[in-house]
Structure 1
Amino acid sequence: LTVQYQIQEMLRIERIFEARGIEEELEAYNPLIPDGSNLKATFMIEYADEAERRRELTKLIGVEDRVWLRVAGHAAVYAIADEDMDRENDDKTSSVHFLRFEFTPAMIAALKAGATLAAGIDHPNMTVDIDPLPAATQAALVADLDG
């Protein structure tokens, strides 16, 4: 549903009404839809000030590979990042990354049975640990998993 709204917003903002343009938007966003054994996310690092953003993104090279989700009782699942293109270079990381988290059948079964889901980042220059995720957020994410 989120991806559907995003596509609708882009079509409206970019005034795309022709079939080919609509198809291009669908092709761009369809890879972001989870396919039963995984969750997908857009990870955005936001700094309002351009100079600060440039400076901070140099400190965050590799951060996209340190984002994780963890089902209670299981090991963390680290993101598979930027499968469509490389979004960092030797000087800095991008402010936007596309992430995929693959879960085992046991993890999905545990989530469906009520296990909690945590999220975080364990990069030396960015540490986040949300354990557990809010119940409404978890319920929406678990609904995207098969099982």
Structure 2
Amino acid sequence: MRLTGRITADSLMTLEAYARWRKVHKPEVIAHRKLRSVALGEHITVQFESELTMRYQVQEMLRIEKIFEEEGIRSEVDAYAPPVPDGANWKATMLIEYPDVNERRRELARLIGVQDRMFVEAEGHARVYAIADEDLPRDNEEKTSAVHFLRFEFPPAARAAIKAGAAVKLGCDHTNYPAHVAIGPETLASLAGDLA
């Protein structure tokens, strides 16, 4: 899989080429995704996306749905290219996970707006709050969604600090889910590589 900085229909593999590539490289992609996943408390996981994770997602959708026509390929690219970070930000999928269905229903009602209270804080810099769900709203009056899409847009000084090795924490200051965690060094090194 060739990373080009931008996912386009022309930069994707054919279904046959991807099937061969997948047999060899799928474990590497899974390890990359795991490295870029951060647990925040017991019930929220933030998966920081990259060109690799999103390119893999597009290729998987094309494979599963057996899409090979131009319009279908373009549709998948349009759906999955936006979560690729562009050098000034981190983009992520936030998952709210409660195994028990009744507890999940109750907690999703209590966590309305949680996506807007997610933040990243580089040591010595102000918190950067997530810009959430830019594609469509995922809250209503009764509950929030179990999946949200986040963008953390960093000012130049915070980007420079992160690239220089500043400690960074991921957090949430929602009334019903206050939590923060230091992003581990290996994960942080991977994420720092997303910044220009």
**TM-score bracket for this pair, using the shorter chain length:** over 0.9
1:17-28 alignment runs, 5 A limit? 17-28=68-79
Question: Corresponding residue for 2:188?
Answer: 138
Aligned-partner SS, 1:137 = helix
Deviation at 1:18, TM superposition (A): 2.1
1:37-76 alignment runs, 5 A limit? 37-76=88-127
Separation in structure 2 between the aligned mates of residue 126 and residue 5 of structure 1, nearest angstrom: 32
Separation in structure 1 between the aligned mates of residue 58 and residue 176 of structure 2, nearest angstrom: 33
User: Please, which runs of 5 or more residues in structure 2 have no aligned partner?
Assistant: 1-51
Deviation at 1:126, TM superposition (A): 1.2
Question: Corresponding residue for 2:57?
Answer: 6
Q: How many matched pairs?
A: 145
Aligned-partner SS, 1:89 = coil
TM-score of the pair, normalised by structure 2: 0.71
Deviation at 1:116, TM superposition (A): 1.4
Separation in structure 1 between the aligned mates of residue 177 and residue 188 of structure 2, nearest angstrom: 23
**Cα RMSD after superposing both structures:** 1.2
Deviation at 1:49, TM superposition (A): 3.0
Query: What is the aligned-residue identity percentage?
Result: 58
Question: Corresponding residue for 2:67?
Answer: 16
Deviation at 1:45, TM superposition (A): 0.7
> Which structure is richer in relative contact order (CA contacts within 8 A, separation 6 or more)?
1
2:134 to 83, 91, 113: 83
Structure 1 consecutive aligned stretches of length 4 or more whose deviation exceeds 6 Å: none
The CA deviation string for residues 1-50 of structure 1, in whole angstroms up to 9 with x for no partner, is: 11111222222223323222111111001110111111110111122333
Are positions 1:35 and 2:72 aligned together?
A: no
Question: Corresponding residue for 2:153?
Answer: 102
Deviation at 1:127, TM superposition (A): 2.2
Separation in structure 2 between the aligned mates of residue 45 and residue 97 of structure 1, nearest angstrom: 9
User: Please, which runs of 5 or more residues in structure 1 have no aligned partner?
Assistant: none
Separation in structure 1 between the aligned mates of residue 126 and residue 53 of structure 2, nearest angstrom: 28
Amino acid paired to 1:67? M
TM-score of the pair, normalised by structure 1: 0.93
